Amino acid sequence: MIAFLTGRVAARGAGSAVIDVGGVGMSVQCTPSALSRLHVGETGTVATSLVVREDSLTLFGFADDDEKHLFEQLQTASGVGPRLALAMLSVLSPDALRHAVATEDTNALTRVPGIGKKGAQRIVLELRGKIDPPVFTDGTLPPVPGNAAAGPNGAWRTQVVSGLVNLGWSAKDAEAAAAAVAPQAEETTDVAVLLRSALRTLSRA
């Protein structure tokens, strides 16, 4: 089990990074919050979860152990694999996810591409009582990364591209789709809305 990686960041893409650990380049699929802390040429650290398949070994990277733990908990729900779990953490913060499950807010979960109404209901049913409660104690909804807080500075674009890559699209296609929905970002910076629009663009291609 590889719990974390620390090393020089050799490269960083839309949804992944390469970290040089003792002369070995480790490719890691990362959440947007983890990527935001990694800068090429500088030393970086990510918490990691290794997913083993018959034909692959994939490292997933997170900003902290909290993200990592929730990533692993999400996969205990049927139909939720590592890619979908990563997409969920790309659209919703850990506390926003916990809040959605705790309050049975299926609308929040359907913001994640790949999760429909029935899927959201199943996730809530299977995870409620299993995952930790949100850290927030004042009763407010935890912030969703990429919504209005993203502002007009283009932060939405990085998260949209990352979300598409995490869902299996190539970085080139993801960048093209993000460019296609850029005019829409003048009216809204809600990442979930823009991500769905980008997916529709790709499905028509």
Taking only Cα atoms into account, the Rg of the chain, rounded to an integer number of angstroms, comes to 17
Q: What CATH number was assigned to the domain covering residues 65-127?
A: 1.10.150.20
pLDDT, mean over the chain: 83
Q: Look at residue 120 and tell me whether its pLDDT is greater than 90.
A: yes
Does CATH number 1.10.10 belong to domain 148-204? no
Identify which has the larger pLDDT, 68 or 153: 68
Q: 160 to each of 69, 127, 164, 173, how far by Cα in Å?
A: 23, 26, 6, 12
pLDDT at residue 186, rounded to an integer: 78
Distance from C-alpha of 109 to C-alpha of 124, rounded to nearest angstrom: 9
Residue 31 CB partners (closer than 8 Å, separation 6+)? 61, 62, 63, 67, 86, 89, 90, 162
Which class is 4-62 in CATH?
mainly beta
User: For the residues 162-181, what does the mean pLDDT come to?
Assistant: 79
The DSSP bridge partners found for residue 30 are 61
pLDDT at residue 154, rounded to an integer: 54
Which sequence spans correspond to the domains of the chain?
Answer: 4-62, 65-127, 148-204
